[in-house]
Amino acid sequence: MAAVAAFAGWLLRLRAAGADGPWRRLCGAGLSRGFLQSASAYGAAAQRRQVAHFTFQPDPEPVEYGQTQKMNLFQAVTSALDNSLAKDPTAVIFGEDVAFGGVFRCTVGLRDKYGKDRVFNTPLCEQGIVGFGIGIAVTGATAIAEIQFADYIFPAFDQIVNEAAKYRYRSGDLFNCGSLTIRSPWGCVGHGALYHSQSPEAFFAHCPGIKVVVPRSPFQAKGLLLSCIEDKNPCIFFEPKILYRAAVEQVPVEPYNIPLSQAEVIQEGSDVTLVAWGTQVHVIREVAAMAQEKLGVSCEVIDLRTILPWDVDTVCKSVIKTGRLLVSHEAPLTGGFASEISSTVQYYRTQGHVPNKAKRWNLKKGLLQGSSKENGHLLLKMFCMTGQRIQRTKC
């Protein structure tokens, strides 16, 4: 509750700071130090240790894909893998400890059903696993590799970036490893510390040739994973590990696809666009509800879903409508993917695609009024490029 409260509290504090206070200091060249230091007034509150929580918000039961069943995230992943192995006779699943079901139980029952030739363990060697997977994919078979935790993906970074991503290009489309999908548990879980909590999507976003996908729920996970497996490009599918058990939803039993590179507008709004992916989507949904209730702010919530290549159009269209953008992610701020989103939106704004209208808060009435171009410019800068990380104390 507190992280959500902190987020909303931050919105409140900005409003309380007054349209004149910090904004005036911003007039002139760019963001001044005064802007950043204004928070010291709220220093004590900001420094307080935050126990984070989020509440998983399930989507309504989908009706267009046939019969559904209650599943959590790891069961949805198992279902997707089951569908893939059934449909595609060349599909194989491999990784550390996948044979008995995996450390998060994502592959339970698959070895018994499809045989030990199709679901098998590898030794402890991430670079070997991905390199091996690229080899399988190059011959045309479907390779679904698991890296036990996203924190361990770095020995395989060279294989992914230098081999998998560039195979099609460097061979002039003669060869490709498009049938490779790498699945990995991702994101903070509370007690993971340095090596069981990382969100490395930004490292991979820097590399053309691969696709990076992060689902927010079981229904999304199954559809997106099936799309990744069928996609003719090497894909990395990050599964928020904290949602493996916490997220429960009605998920169709039959296979279905959710298109990649399409962001989803979960909730329409008119005052500010909130963008997130994975676990954070549930945090900002709660924030949107709080903002509506307490501040009368109508937030448009977007789940980015595919990090690379990302859906620029949906996000820009939304910012055209609202005039403000806020991006939230678990990964570190500096160089995090939010910086890419905000700079792209800024670019389109300077090109005139995103008009320079922005609205100013009216403190007393909580209503928005038209304002000068200058204030609009400053507000957009203000709201761009923030990232929040869930801080956890005990859990």
Partner 1 sequence: MLAAVSRVLSGVAQKPASRVLVASRHFANDATFEIKKCDLHRLEEGPPVTTVLTREDGLKYYRMMQTVRRMELKADQLYKQKIIRGFCHLCDGQEACCVGLEAGINPTDHLITAYRAHGFTFTRGLSVREILAELTGRRGGCAKGKGGSMHMYAKNFYGGNGIVGAQVPLGAGIALACKYNGKDEVCLTLYGDGAANQGQIFEAYNMAALWKLPCIFICENNRYGMGTSVERAAASTDYYKRGDFIPGLRVDGMDILCVREATKFAAAYCRSGKGPILMELQTYRYHGHSMSDPGVSYRTREEIQEVRSKSDPIMLLKDRMVNSNLASVEELKEIDVEVRKEIEDAAQFATADPEPPLEELGYHIYCNDPPFEVRGANQWIKFKSIS
Q: Which residues are catalytic?
A: 126, 196
Among residue numbers 318 through 337, which ones bind partner 1 (CB under 8 A)? Answer: 333-334
CB-based burial label for 344 (10 Å; 0-12, 13-18, 19+): middle
Question: Closer to partner 1 at the Cβ: 3 or 316?
Answer: 3
Nearer to partner 1, 282 or 317 (CB): 282
Question: Cβ 49 to partner 1, closest distance in Å?
Answer: 6
Query: By C-beta, is 170 or 191 nearer to partner 1?
Result: 191
In which residue are the tokens 């509370």 written?
190
* Nearest CB to partner 1, comparing residues 100 and 169: 100
Q: Shortest Cβ distance from residue 20 to partner 1 (Å)?
A: 19
The nearer residue to partner 1, 27 or 36, going by C-beta atoms, is 36
In angstroms, the CA 220 to CA 247 distance is 11
Q: Which is nearer to partner 1, 99 or 235 (CB)?
A: 99
- Please spell the DSSP secondary structure of 264-312, one letter per residue: EEEE--SSEEEEE-TTHHHHHHHHHHHHHHHH---EEEEE--EEET--H
**Shortest Å, Cβ 191 to partner 1:** 5
Among 5, 39, 265, 368, binds partner 1 (CB under 8 A): 39
Residues 345-364 that bind partner 1 (CB under 8 A): none
Q: How far from each other are the two terminal CA atoms of the chain, in whole angstroms?
A: 13
Closest CA relative to residue 7, chosen from 269, 299, 238, 244: 299
Q: Is 262 in the site for partner 1 (CB under 8 A)?
A: no
Quote the CA–CA distance of 80 and 257 in Å, as a whole number.
Answer: 10
Q: Out of 145, 307, 345, 390, which residue is the one contacting partner 1 (CB under 8 A)?
A: 390
Q: Does 341 bind partner 1 (CB under 8 A)?
A: no
For 394, residues 6+ apart whose C-beta sits below 8 A from its C-beta are 51
Q: Give yes or no for a contact between 103 and 155, defined as CB atoms under 8 angstroms apart.
A: no
What mask, x for binding partner 1 by CB under 8 A, covers residues 123 to 162? xxx-xx----------------------xx--x-------
Shortest distance in whole angstroms from residue 266 CB to partner 1: 22
36 binds partner 1 (CB under 8 A): yes
Closest contact distance (angstroms) between CB of 386 and partner 1 is 6
**Strand ranges of the sheet holding 306-308, from the earlier edge strand across to the other edge:** 119-121, 92-95, 143-146, 180-186, 235-240, 211-213, 306-308
Q: Which range in 43-51, 168-176, 269-277, 343-351 contacts partner 1 by CB under 8 A?
A: 43-51
Site for partner 1, residues 177 to 216, rule: CB under 8 A: 191-196
Strand blocks (E) in the chain: 68-72, 92-95, 119-121, 143-146, 180-186, 211-213, 235-240, 248-252, 264-267, 272-276, 299-303, 306-308, 325-327, 360-361, 368-369
Of the candidates 320, 321, 382, the residue with the CA atom closest to the CA atom of residue 345:
320
User: Which residues here bind partner 1, judged by CB under 8 A?
Assistant: 3, 6-7, 10, 36, 39, 42, 46-47, 49-50, 96-97, 100, 121, 123-125, 127-128, 151-152, 155, 191-196, 333-334, 386-391, 394
